Amino acid sequence: MSTSEPTVRASTAYYVQSAIAFAVAFASTLGGIVYLPISPWPRAFLAVCTLFLVTSCFGLAKVIRDTHESQQVRNRIDEARIEQIYASTTR
């Protein structure tokens, strides 16, 4: 008998709100950097740091998601089944 765990999905409204919040925060940060009364070199440094921070956040979110998914009981059971099938076919 197979039981499946309920999947937790974000609602469309939450997804849209998160996307809008990200866009506003990113645009505000870049707008602040553009209008700072400083020379171009520090401005470029801040812009590159901001872009690196954003890409690092996406990478961290992916790693956290992948780690969470790999710890799910369902995934471990599926991996055990695959290993069992593989072991029986290699004999």
pLDDT score of 7 more than 50 = yes
What band does 3 get if pLDDT is binned at 50, 70 and 90? low
Domain boundaries, the chain: 12-89
Give the residue among 48, 70, 67 at the shortest CA–CA distance from 59: 67
pTM of the model: 0.64
Two structure tokens written together for 19: 């996307």
Q: What letter would DSSP give residue 28?
A: H
pLDDT score of 84 more than 90 = no
Say if residues 74 and 5 touch (Cβ distance below 8 Å).
Answer: yes
**pLDDT given for residue 42 in this prediction:** 96
pLDDT score of 35 more than 60 = yes
Mean pLDDT across the chain: 87
pLDDT score of 2 more than 70 = no
**pLDDT given for residue 1 in this prediction:** 47
Give me the torsion for CA of 75, 76, 82, 85, rounded to 10°.
Answer: -140
